Amino acid sequence: MAIYKKPNRKIWTGRTSDQKLYLHEKVECTDVDKISASATQKTIALLGYACDTGVKRNQGRIGASAGPDAIRSQLGKMPNHMDEKSQILDCGTIECVDDDMEAAQNLLSQKVSKLLELHTFPILLGGGHDIAYGHYNGLLDHIEKDKTIGIINFDAHFDLRSNEKGNNSGTPFYQIAKDATAGKHNFKYLCLGIRKDANDRTLFETAIDFNVEFLRKKEFNMQHLDAVRQTIKDFIAGVDYIYTTIDLDGFSSAYAPGVSAASPMGFAPDIVLKSLWTIIRSNKMIGMDIAEMNPKYDRDHQTAKLAASLIQYVLHRI
């Protein structure tokens, strides 16, 4: 079972002004079904995914269900430099009930498709990385049948584990790939920041079998910026749309301690920001999410602030 929870205005706090200088003053809380958006209006829709069932099934540290509100809390405190015509809508949260992750993914998919119909740009707040399967299918339901969505995942992990024994936070892209082999769509997947210490040999073999493109963490840094940009541009050129997903556990735990699978060996924010700008400039991105925010293990809201900063960066550039 899954439920849709309407947005909570009380979460959005921060300094006050009479000029909407802060994002909590800019955000409007609204039910998805009550959105009235214009095709010419720049409207960003925030939607939460409060689920860590997939993390639990994947033997990770639970706590990601509290991630969406932790991100909102930090995002609201940040400065607003958006123009008056732009809108940010908090559209509430999909909540997983009784560990029914599949129901939560299905409801998430429906809401994403609805948000796209309303001409909004969805930014989803997780929650485990199982958010990706629901998000992707919502995007897929909306686009033209002959078009292709390319997935760009910032992550230490491929998340290509077999779902033979059930779905979890480590299986979303395997599920998407298997759907593709069944003829539902094309599978185009680029993963940035892959580490050998985060994926066993069989996962690399699976990635090769599914023609996954990837850059290892040693190649994904500012020293190799030109090559990173070119890899992203080449990938984008081969698809019609881009779905961007950022797994916070791909970052070094120096930046993101509040995740399910923290490691000091991850990447830094600077290369992610440069990569996001390359994606945004393509004008092909139709959806984005932040996954694996786990406030239970955060320090001084550091990970939530990182997630909020990434979203703030995108808000002011799309």
Q: Which two tokens stand for residue 250?
A: 């791909």
Q: Which pLDDT value is given to residue 39?
A: 47
pTM of the model: 0.97
Contact partners, residue 111, CB within 8 Å, separation at least 6: 4, 32, 47, 91, 94, 138
CA distance 235 to 315: 23
Estimate to the nearest angstrom the gap between the alpha carbon of 169 and the chain centroid.
Answer: 13
Contact criterion met (CB below 8 Å) for 138 and 241: no
Contact partners, residue 246, CB within 8 Å, separation at least 6: 153, 154, 155, 272, 288, 289, 290, 291, 310
pLDDT by 10s per residue, the chain, length 318: 999 999 999 999 999 999 999 999 999 999 998 887 654 568 999 999 999 999 999 999 999 999 999 999 999 999 999 999 899 999 999 999 999 999 999 999 999 999 999 999 999 999 999 999 999 999 999 999 899 999 999 999 999 999 999 999 999 999 999 999 888 789 999 999 999 999 999 999 999 999 999 999 999 999 999 999 999 999 999 999 999 999 999 999 999 999 999 999 999 999 999 999 999 999 999 999 999 999 999 999 999 999 999 999 999 998
Q: Which pLDDT value is given to residue 281?
A: 97
- Give the helix/strand (H/E) hosting 150: strand 149-154
Contact criterion met (CB below 8 Å) for 111 and 35: no
Angstrom CA distances, 66 to 17, 35, 140, stand at 29, 25, 27
Which backbone phi and psi does 153 adopt, to 5 degrees? -115, 120
- Give the helix/strand (H/E) hosting 286: strand 285-291
User: Which pairing describes strands 121-126 and 43-50: parallel, antiparallel, or unpaired?
Assistant: parallel
Q: Which pLDDT value is given to residue 36?
A: 76
Sign of the C-alpha dihedral, residues 62, 124, 235, 187? positive
CA distance 64 to 59: 13
Q: Which residue has the tokens 């050129």?
A: 237
